[in-house]
Amino acid sequence: MNVTFNPTLEGELASCSFDDEGTFAEKKYLIKEGKLLRPIGGFFSSQRSGMEYVACSRATNWNRPPIDRMGT
């Protein structure tokens, strides 16, 4: 089984080039051939987990810190 995370799909509601932490958005495998490669987590979450991260951090407003989200 393969599962990807791709926030760069044009025309989608939550598509973006960068997340709100400044991470470049690109298609990445979350699960590849049945093996978990990375969870849906941003830069700061990855520091705690020790795993790679994806561009998924979003802020709800300019005065709110970004948190890990699948979409907006």
Domain ranges of the chain: 1-72
pLDDT at 71 over 80: no
pTM to 2 decimals?
Answer: 0.74
Contacts of residues 20-24 at CB distance under 8 Å and 24 or more positions apart, as own/partner, are: 20/57, 20/58, 20/59, 20/66, 21/55, 21/57, 21/66, 23/53, 23/54, 23/55, 23/57, 24/55
1-57 tens-digit pLDDT: 999 999 999 988 878 999 998 999 999 999 999 999 988 888 888 888 888 888 888
pLDDT of residue 29: 94
pLDDT at 69 over 90: no
pLDDT of residue 72: 42
